[in-house]
């Protein structure tokens, strides 16, 4: 029985050590989350305003102006950017983003994959490791796996600019981005968006609103404005994808480690109960042996 007691004691010590680690990781993620959340909260109004500005301009164009990033071509070559974290222990966060990319490949670009016309650009080690094992024959770009080491606009801008240059050179006909959308510390979800070509969403307006439509004066001309504005919006949007994922990662890890800490506490309580039961059984067995030995001596 002493061996069983020692085994339970050792397990209690092990779980307590694990609990200390998960609690420390929760605190670290909470501290990092505050900075990451501040970055994405500050970025969103600027990015949203740029997108609304573009929609307003596009809605007031009567033709004769276009952007090279909005040209629809027959989809022959596809690039999917998968933005995940570098580390795990964040629940299903990375898995859900990878599944989002897998779903798009299976439902829409399976033939492109079979023909070698599908390329994956992985930002974050978890996505890169997953797809490297999943597809041995896929075109996998690994130049920017560690991009999360520097989330400055200038650093991320080199990646988005490279993608935009490749699109303009017609090396890709469509670009999608799978990333983690941050809502709050407890809620994050995976999302897939079309990055290129630019989806020109013109707002629905009534006939009366059309009559009152603002008469924009473009200075310089429309083409110059679009050629300057669209790349800036695309770079800002791409930067937002990474800031969203970064905040989502720490929110998911904080939640996962908090749950793991609670589970460890429940397990410790259960183990202590088992330990006390085993200890009581051992004491009872020793008393029975003593009583039996005394009875044998008296006999």
145: exposed, middle or buried (Cβ count in 10 Å: 0-12, 13-18, 19+): buried
For domain 29-202+212-255, the question of CATH label 3.40.1380.10 is answered with yes
* Residue with the two structure tokens 């609304």: 52
From residue 237, alpha-carbon distances to 123, 195, 201, 232, 298 in Å are: 15, 9, 16, 9, 91
pLDDT on residue 6: 86
Domain ranges of the chain: 29-202+212-255
Angle between helices 222-298 and 153-168 (to 10 degrees): 120
CB 238 within 8 A of CB 79: no
Tokens of 25: 């990781």
pTM for the whole thing? 0.84
User: Which candidate, 50, 65, 68, places its Cα nearest to that of 165?
Assistant: 68
User: Looking at residue 29, what is its pLDDT?
Assistant: 93
User: Helix H segments across the chain?
Assistant: 2-59, 93-108, 110-114, 125-134, 153-168, 207-211, 222-298
Q: The sheet that has 118-123: what strands, in order across it?
A: 139-141, 118-123, 78-83, 174-182, 188-196
* Tokens standing for residue 287: 């008393």
For residue 251, give the nearest of 191, 181, 192, 148 by alpha carbon.
Answer: 181
Provide the 3-class DSSP secondary structure of residue 155: helix
Q: What is the block-wise mean pLDDT of the chain (299 residues), using blocks of 10 residues?
A: 79 94 94 92 86 69 65 93 94 95 96 95 96 91 90 93 95 96 90 87 55 64 79 92 95 94 94 88 82 74
Angle at 45 between CA 38 and CA 193, to 5 degrees: 95
- Using a 10 angstrom Cβ sphere, with 0-12 exposed, 13-18 middle and 19 or more buried, the burial of residue 168 is middle
């Amino acid at each position: 029985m002493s061996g069983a007691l020692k085994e339970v004691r050792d397990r209690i010590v092990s779980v307590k050590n694990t609990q200390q680690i998960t609690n420390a990781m929760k605190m670290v993620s909470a501290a990092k989350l505050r900075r990451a959340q501040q970055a994405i909260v500050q970025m969103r109004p600027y990015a949203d305003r740029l997108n609304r500005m573009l929609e307003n301009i596009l809605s007031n164009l009567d033709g004769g102006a276009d952007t090279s990033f909005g040209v629809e071509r027959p989809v022959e070559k596809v690039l999917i950017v998968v933005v995940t974290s570098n580390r795990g222990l964040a629940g299903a966060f990375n898995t859900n983003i990878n599944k989002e990319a897998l779903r798009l490949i299976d439902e829409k670009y399976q033939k492109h994959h079979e023909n070698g016309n599908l390329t994956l650009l992985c930002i974050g080690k978890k996505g890169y490791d997953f797809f490297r094992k999943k597809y041995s024959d896929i075109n996998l770009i690994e130049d920017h796996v560690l991009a999360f080491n520097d989330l400055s606009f200038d650093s991320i801008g080199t990646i988005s600019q490279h993608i935009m240059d490749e699109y303009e050179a017609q090396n890709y006909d469509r670009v999608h981005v799978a990333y983690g959308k941050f809502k709050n510390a407890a809620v994050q979800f995976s999302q897939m968006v079309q990055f290129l070509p630019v989806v020109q969403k013109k707002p629905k307006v009534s006939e009366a609103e059309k009559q009152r439509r603002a008469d924009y004066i473009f200075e310089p001309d429309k083409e110059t404005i679009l050629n300057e504005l669209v790349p800036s919006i695309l770079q800002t949007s791409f930067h937002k994808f990474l800031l969203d994922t970064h905040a989502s990662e720490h929110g998911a890890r904080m939640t996962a480690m908090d749950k793991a800490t609670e589970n460890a506490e429940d397990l410790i309580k259960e183990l202590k109960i088992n330990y006390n039961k085993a200890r009581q059984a051992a004491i009872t067995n020793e008393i029975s042996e003593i009583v039996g030995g005394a009875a044998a001596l008296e006999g």
